[in-house]
Amino acid sequence: MTRRKWGQVLIGAGILAGGGYWLAHHSSHHPGTSNWRVPVLFIPGYNGNRFSLGPMIRRFVRHGWGAQVATVWLDQGRITRVQGELTTSDLIQVLFVQNRGPVEVQVPGLRVLLRTLYQLGRKEVKVVAHSMGGVALLHYLVTHDVHQEPAIKQAVTIAAPFNDTDPGKTDWAHIEDYALTSTGPTHQTPRYRHLHRNKVAIPATTRFLNVYGELHAHTDGSVGVNSVRALRHLVAASRYQEHRFTGVGAQHSLLHQNAAVDRLVATFLGRRGLSGKD
């Protein structure tokens, strides 16, 4: 698929202006009292669908850590469908119509969603993103518009390959895992160089939790540990923490099905007095 230049992914002001009204008046559910002060977005990775982060959201709900208020479908720079209600701050599942598209296809959709939330009065959000979704989030953050888009106060990235050439298109026989030094990766992919050049634009108020798994040979079975941990060289140390998981539940597609990851994520996002059994 031909990749669009970054200058071509900006959304027209007229489309954005109508987005808030559309979302506020096209919902099928009426959730109760909010469990969160701000919306929490769950962004899937390559080829993601309802069954990617949906089970994690359902476990959050079961434990009393929130209520799912909406599912939103994005297609490049458009919101194509909303199931639920966005006027209540709680858990929101994000899905991409072109779920096998490159990062450049996902970022415009994230932007229109976040600008629409801003128009609805949401000045802050929190994000949980898996794999390629985490890479898309970082690309969004280096172009974040503080005047039209909510601040992302906390961002959880799970198994996101920041220093891969083409996230989601991994050649399983050749997982990219360039060594990390005190100053960064020994080799930077073009995508990582873009993030590194523009890292100053990442909001200084965003705190990061970077979760990764390690099974063997510095990988989680799909992406390299060093590619995931390369995020530490894009954000300030004071705003960054990472957590390593091992064992069967550390496999790339099982990390977001891991009860220990659930609890870590919920705690980082600010849930206090967590209840429920794993």
Per-residue pLDDT tens over the stretch 215-225: 988 999 999 99
pTM across the whole model: 0.86
CA 188 to chain centroid, in Å, comes to 22
Q: Of 104, 79, 74, whose CA–CA distance to 1 is shortest? A: 104
Matching residue, tokens 């966005």: 86
Strand 91-96 with 40-43, pairing: parallel
Provide the pLDDT for residue 21.
35
What are residue 127's DSSP bridge partners?
A: 41, 155
User: Which of the 8 DSSP states describes residue 97?
Assistant: S
Residue with tokens 């609805």: 120
pLDDT digits (tens, 9 = 90+) for 39-91: 999 999 999 999 999 999 999 999 999 999 999 999 999 999 999 998 888 99
Assign 202 a pLDDT band (cuts: 50, 70, 90). very high
